[in-house]
Amino acid sequence: MKLSRILTGLAVLAAVVGMGLIIGWFATRDSNPPHVSQPLVPTNDMVTVPTPTPPPIPVATRVPPPRPASKTVTNLPIVHPMATQVSIATNQPATGTNWEEHLDEILASDSDDTNKVKQLFAMFPKLPEDGQEEVAQHLSNLVEDEDYGPLGELLKNAKLPEAVLDVLMSDLLNRPNSSKLPLFLDIAQNPDHPKAGEAKELLELYLDEDYGNNWTEWKNEMQKWLKENPD
C-alpha cells in the first residue's frame, strides 16, 4: 500500500517536470524569432564613385587693338616755358578798373605761391601807380629769399613811382646780407635813382665807413664785410 503511493507520487512529479520542460521550450522558441538576413548595404570601401571631370575652360584668344593710323607732323612750333607764362598773363586783363578784381582772383586761387608770383610780375607793368604799390607789397610777402633776383631788378628800376620803391626798399632791409648790400651799392651808384642817397647811407651804416664816390673801394670793402658776416 505504501509502495503504490510512492510510485504514484513519483509519477506525478515526473509529469510536472516534463510539463515544465515543454513550457520552457515553447517560451524559448517564441523569444528567439527565426533569423532574417539583412540586405547588404554597400559602404564607401565597397563602392567607388567616379569623380566628374570639369569641362575644359575655353581660352579666349587675345586680339590686339587696331593700331591708329600714323600721322606725319611737320614744322611743329617750339614753345618756350616763359612764352606760356606770358600768354597766360596776356589773356588776363589787368589794366583799367578791373585790376583789383583780377588781383583778388590771383591771390584767392588754389595755385601755389610760385605761380601767383609769376602772374603778379606779369600784371605789374600794366597797373596804375596805386596798383603797382599794392602788387609790390604782395610780391614782397610771396617772394622767397632764394628767388629774390627778379624783385631786386624791379627795385633797381629808377623810373618806378617812389611809393613803389619805398615798399621794395623796406622789403630789401629784411633780406639776407648777400642780397641786401650788393643792391645798396648798385642803387647808390645811380644818381638818377630816387633811393640812391638812402642806399648809400645804409651801405655806410653796415660798413662803418664812407668812401665817397670811390665805388671800387665800396665794392672791395663790401665783399670783405660779407665774408666776415655771412648770412
Alpha carbon distance 63, 66 (integer Å): 9
Q: Considering the entire predicted model, what is its pTM?
A: 0.59
How does DSSP classify residue 156? T
Alpha carbon distance 223, 57 (integer Å): 82
CA angle 1, 14, 11 (to 5 degrees): 20
pLDDT in tens, 137-149: 999 999 999 999 9
Alpha carbon distance 158, 15 (integer Å): 159
Output the nine-digit C-alpha cell for 125: 607793368
Nearest to 136 by CA among 123, 36, 45: 123
Lowest mean pLDDT among 5-14, 76-85, 101-110: 76-85
How does DSSP classify residue 30? H
Alpha carbon distance 60, 55 (integer Å): 15
pLDDT in tens, 95-135: 556 899 999 999 999 999 999 999 999 999 999 999 999 99
